[in-house]
Structures are given as structure tokens and as C-alpha cells.
Amino acid sequence: MYGVTNNLYKDSNGNPTNGATTGCHCHFTVRKDGELVDPLTILKQKEGALI
């Protein structure tokens, strides 16, 4: 988004960013028996999941 007119994404100083810094968010990892698991597979198993 650098150099793009009307870029809505700005850092705390008002400088344009690439859009990757959109605010507070969380990253997490799911493992089962030491192996990485796609968390969507777990969420999709739950009745009433938001996904």
C-alpha cells in the first residue's frame, strides 16, 4: 500500500503502512501430541462454531 493514494492504513505517527498492522490481534498455535494442528479443524467440530 506504499505510494497508493488514499491508503487508509497509518502507523501511530501518521505514516502510511502496508496494511499488515491493523491493530491489536492474537496469534496462537494448536498442537496435538506435539504435532501442529490447523485450529479450524477443531473449531469446525464444535456445534455452533462461528466458522
What are the residues whose beta carbons fall under 8 Å from the beta carbon of 28, sequence distance 6 or more?
39
Which pLDDT belongs to residue 33?
95
What's the CA gap between 40 and 23, in Å, rounded? 22
Q: Which residues pair with 32 in a beta bridge?
A: 35
What is the predicted pLDDT for the residue at 1? 47
pLDDT value at residue 36? 94
Closest CA to 22 of 9, 12, 41, 35: 9
> Does residue 30 sit in helix, strand or coil?
strand
Closest among 25, 20, 19, 30 to 8, alpha carbons compared: 19
Domain segments of the chain as ranges: 1-51
pLDDT band at 9 (very low <50, low <70, confident <90, very high): confident
pLDDT at 34: 94
pLDDT in tens, 10-34: 778 887 776 565 567 778 889 999 9
